[in-house]
Amino acid sequence: MEKLRLAIIGCGIAARELHLPALKRLRDRIEIVALASRTREKAEQLSLMIEPKPRVFDSADELMASGVAEAVDLALPTILNPDFIEKALKYNLHVIAEKPIAIDMKNAKKVLNLENNSDKTVYIAENYRHIPVFQKAARIINDGGIGKPAFLVWKSTKLMDKEDKYVQTSWRKKPLHIAGFISDAGVHHIAATRTMLGDIEEVSAYLKRVRNYLGAEDTITMNLLFENGAIGNYIASYGLEFGNEISIIGTEGNMYIEGNIIKIFTARDQKTVEVQDNDGFLEEFSDFYNVVKFGKENLLGSSAQALKDLMVIEAAVKSFKERKHVKITSILE
């Protein structure tokens, strides 16, 4: 099997703790050949965790110009995505970049245009699109397992402690990406929601800030109207402790998702479906490999998909600021 020669640009938490463990499990397909980071020291530290040891460069530009890699993994602050994706494409490199696609829709559209005008792959790494429990829930719904879906409730709260490593990253302390953690983490939930119930047509939302140290609004309640006619309520907070609840109510039954378990209740019976868990990061890098090496259609990592996730968050923020319902498509105008 021909290996993909991959370079990592940005050697912080995401690269070290999320990407590298997955890439090590894919060493038969992907070889990490080069590293660069804002400081050479971080790249050197990461290189000690990789065998064979990759080449360390003083800058991202030097790395991309070297020709040692055929693809780059951008594990960078969100604000840097558009410029670094553009640079990588100019050097004829395939790109996989961390979500969100950009800090706002203006910059997200720039990434989409870059992808559309290149013959190289641009893959936005959204691991929730690869999580089997959401894919299985989508199949059950599409097969009529709960009748016609009518209502979604998703409550997700996680208190981000002041000393949390993600909270302590400088670009999250003073976020330039829209609504801080609400977009940073919220695009995960929107991706999963769209996987299960399809695209969202309209939203109305309220946001508030519970913890001053989180840098922006950290709590949201959002009403959703889906294109298929279903409605829903999404509640998320990074300043409150509670847990995670997902329920989807249909005309013929109810579905509850708890971790990797789906519980279905209908008038006829009750059943529990346990879905084998996986590493979403491993799956996204595996998919990226197949897109680059075998021409697989980029259905799960395209800029268009990532843009749709961010559109919902930006529409929610607009709804809150303007105190009105917002059509998702209006965000593209």
Residues constituting the chain: 333
Q: Is the domain of 140 the same as that of 122?
A: no
Q: Is the domain of 104 the same as that of 189?
A: no
Q: What is the pairing mode between strands 253-258 and 243-250?
A: antiparallel
Q: Is the domain of 123 the same as that of 194?
A: no
Q: Are 54 and 47 in contact (CB under 8 A)?
A: yes
167: how many CB neighbours lie within 10 A of its CB? 17
Residue 85 lies in a domain: yes
For 220-265, write each residue's pLDDT tens digit. Answer: 999 999 999 999 999 999 999 988 999 999 999 999 999 999 999 9
Residue 118 in tokens = 């290149």
**Count: domains in the chain:** 2
Which residue type, as a one-letter code, is found at position 196? M
Residue 32 lies in a domain: yes
> Which residues in the chain show pLDDT less than 50?
none
Q: Is the domain of 288 the same as that of 213?
A: no
Q: Is the domain of 264 the same as that of 148?
A: yes
Q: Is the domain of 134 the same as that of 121?
A: no
Q: Is the domain of 17 the same as that of 113?
A: yes
Residue 296 lies in a domain: yes
Residue 50 lies in a domain: yes
Residue 305 lies in a domain: no
Question: What was the pLDDT predicted at 323?
Answer: 98
Question: What was the pLDDT predicted at 174?
Answer: 86
Q: What is the CATH number of the domain that holds 200?
A: 3.30.360.10
Q: Are 13 and 169 in contact (CB under 8 A)?
A: yes
Residues spanned by the domain of 119 = 4-127+281-300
Question: What was the pLDDT predicted at 198?
Answer: 98
Q: Is the domain of 143 the same as that of 208?
A: yes
Q: Is the domain of 99 the same as that of 143?
A: no
Handedness of CA 203, 209, 215, 218 (dihedral sign): negative
Question: What was the pLDDT predicted at 242?
Answer: 81
Beta bridge partners of 263: 256, 272
Residue 47 lies in a domain: yes
Residue 67 lies in a domain: yes
Smallest CA-to-CA distance from 239 within 136, 131, 158, 140 is with 158
Q: Is the domain of 205 the same as that of 269?
A: yes
Q: How far apart are CA 45 and CA 32, in angstroms?
A: 14
Question: What was the pLDDT predicted at 286?
Answer: 98
Q: Is the domain of 208 the same as that of 274?
A: yes
Q: What is the CATH number of the domain that holds 27?
A: 3.40.50.720
On the 0-12 / 13-18 / 19+ scale of CB atoms within 10 A, 117 is exposed
Question: What was the pLDDT predicted at 1?
Answer: 79
Q: Is the domain of 103 the same as that of 77?
A: yes
Q: How far apart are CA 229 and CA 227, in angstroms?
A: 5
Residue 165 lies in a domain: yes
